[in-house]
Chains A and B, each alone.
Chain A
Amino acid sequence: MIPLLILAPLILLAAVGAVWKARPVHAALFLALALSFTAVLYLALGADFIGLVQFMVYVGAVAVLIVFSLLIIHRGDESEEAARRRRALPLGLLCALPVPVVILAAVSRGAPTTVEGAPVLSVRQLGTLLFTTHAPAVIAVVVLLTAVMVGAALLAREPQPDRRP
């Protein structure tokens, strides 16, 4: 409980920073911070594997995200950002509102579960589970990520008709 109490505000603050900052690079760095705090939370809960994977995948991914944000978002966008933000704020709040409602409803509805000690899974067991029981989900995620990557590459590419392949 104590790690959660310490880390949750930090995660929340970093996440708010990620949404609030106008410059995309700042936002991405805050996102990295939020994700690393989440990794620390996993580590504090004794889930070493997921914590380290969280750190490796997401902090590494943020580096890529920054590259894409710099490639896709062109200069000049930053000055318009503040004005656009003011217009978008009500809509964003409206969209964000259901999230705590749903979470609160889910938490209050479900019976309070008490876990007798955290389940300890070895890396081998995790791998076996992922590639047998949850294989369809893994495959679906792989397809999704490939599609996203191709899309991002298309977006980043500027139209250059006379460019040699």
Chain B
Amino acid sequence: MTASPAAVDAAGWFAPEQLPMLPQRLVEHLLSLTGAPEVLISIAGIAASAGTVLLVFSSAFALLSLIERKVLARAQNRIGPNRAGWFGLLQPLADGIKMLTKEDVVPDKAEKFLHFLAPVLIVLPAILALGVLPYGRDWTPLPLEAGLLFFFAIGALTELSVFIAGWASGSKFPMLGAMRAISQMVSYELPLILSALGVVMVSGTLSLQEIAAQQSGFHFGFIPAWNLFTPWGLVAGLLFFICSIAEANRSPFDLPEGESEIVAGHMTEYSGFKYALFFMGEYLGLFAIAGLGITLFLGGWQPPVPGLAYVPSWVWFAAKISVVIFLYLWIRASFPRLRIDQLMRFAWLCMIPMALLTLPAAAIWHFTGRGAFSWLVTLPLLLVPWIILGNVFNRRLAPGRRRYRFADG
């Protein structure tokens, strides 16, 4: 994973670039001083590394729960939480205490074991997925050869656990939410994976740190050589972004938990800390999928402007993830929820064909030298279907103009 502790001098440990690895190195170094066996040292090092990820992202989760409420409040011309601490900064703490002290209600008709299992299962894949992302030039907590595959394989568990939550509750709204969740997630997972495939084809690897490293450099000295700034990458990146909203069950794709329709969907029969676990899983999953999108299309930890390479790479990753998460919040504040048939139709008639088209586009891009000529060939290949699909959607499938009986005369 990293060079052995002895090889790196202590001054290097505190270099800004190496900071995220500090806990792991400290633990390994301290243990090696005590003369612990090699296996124990490496296990403790991995645990420290995982602990770093967990600590950073669970505090980010706490912060995001506040930021989301603040941003939504601002978008709706409100003030938002401002009572607990300065700017409401202690609000997450207050929420946490409230959640922990609430009664844990399990319905009589629930399948007790599965009802308990679901909140645990939903946090697990999100945490595991966070482990394979390359956060910095040197820091990937779990550098897998097939990291992308691992990410998606673990993601399959999310669908199942959402379904278990809904089904095991033994009541109607959760069941409806679970059915919606499964059909939505299965439908949107297809274009999600297909849009990531183009990156794999062009990069020629499934390893996330390799994919991030390949997007270095700048075109014309100022446009970053990210996958987003290619014709297929632009389309795939947009598709990936839309699908990631759907996969994370966020507005406007939050049908599984649409409050105005089915209370809270699969979470209806949960209370107290189990309910909080669902939120934790959701937000950690959001971080994970945003991090994956950044790695695939936005150059991972690469700086966006030339000449800023002295800023530690993990700072760039954090900055990019903040921007993407803000986009999610913005979208949530701006768009109304879709209807289930609109959602499915959009996935199968628009997203999947477009995602499939990015594959030949990526192949052509790869084999025509990735230059101006490739732009000339691949851009029409993607643009024309895009326009046609958009037109079809707007004309045929969108609801017609509403007529108001009295106002329109």
Contact = CB atoms under 8 A, between A and B. Distances in A.
Contacts of B206: 123
A44 interface: no
B156 A52 contact: no
A67 interface: yes
B146 A67 contact: no
A29 B361 CA distance: 39
Interface string B177-209: 001001101100100000000000000101000
A82 interface: no
Contacts of A8: none
B141 to A, nearest CB: 17
Given A56-B149, A56-B153, A60-B156, A66 B186 contact: no
Contact of A70 (B154, B157, B179, B189): B179
A56 B163 CA distance: 16
B163 A52 contact: no
Nearest to A67: B182
B182 A60 contact: no
B95 interface: no
B189 A48 contact: no
A53 interface: yes
Contacts, number: 55
B391 to A, nearest CB: 20
A25 B154 CA distance: 21
Given A32-B160, A55-B153, A63 B182 contact: yes
Interface residues of A, number: 20
A56 B152 contact: yes
Contacts of A59: 153, 156-157, 160
Interface in B105-135: 114
Contacts of B204: 124
A66 B157 CA distance: 14
A64 interface: yes
B186 A64 contact: yes
B164 interface: yes
Nearest to A58: B156
Nearest to B161: A63
Contacts of A55: 153-154, 156
Contacts of A66: 163, 167, 182
Interface string B144-174: 1110011011111101100110010000000
Interface in B338-370: none
A25 B167 contact: yes
A56 B156 contact: yes
A29 B164 contact: yes
Nearest to A39: B153
Nearest to A36: B157
Contacts of A25: 167
Residue of B152, B153, B157, B183 most packed against chain A (CB within 10 A)? B153
Contact of B146 (A32, A49, A63, A70): A49
A62 interface: yes
Residue of B144, B146, B156, B186 most packed against chain A (CB within 10 A)? B156
Contact of B145 (A48, A53, A56): A48
Contacts of A53: 149, 153
Contacts of B114: 29
Interface of A: 25, 29, 32, 39, 48-49, 52-53, 55-56, 59-60, 62-64, 66-67, 70, 123-124
Q: Which 8 A-B pairs have the closest CB atoms?
A: A56-B153, A60-B156, A55-B153, A59-B156, A52-B153, A63-B159, A52-B149, A63-B160
20 contacts: A29-B160, A32-B160, A39-B153, A48-B144, A52-B146, A52-B150, A53-B153, A55-B154, A55-B156, A56-B149, A56-B152, A56-B153, A59-B160, A60-B156, A63-B163, A63-B182, A63-B186, A66-B182, A123-B146, A123-B206
Interface of B: 114, 144-146, 149-150, 152-157, 159-160, 163-164, 167, 179, 182-183, 185-186, 189, 204, 206
Given A32-B160, A52-B153, A67-B183, 14 more contacts: A39-B153, A49-B146, A56-B149, A59-B160, A63-B156, A63-B160, A63-B163, A63-B182, A63-B186, A66-B163, A66-B167, A67-B182, A123-B145, A123-B206
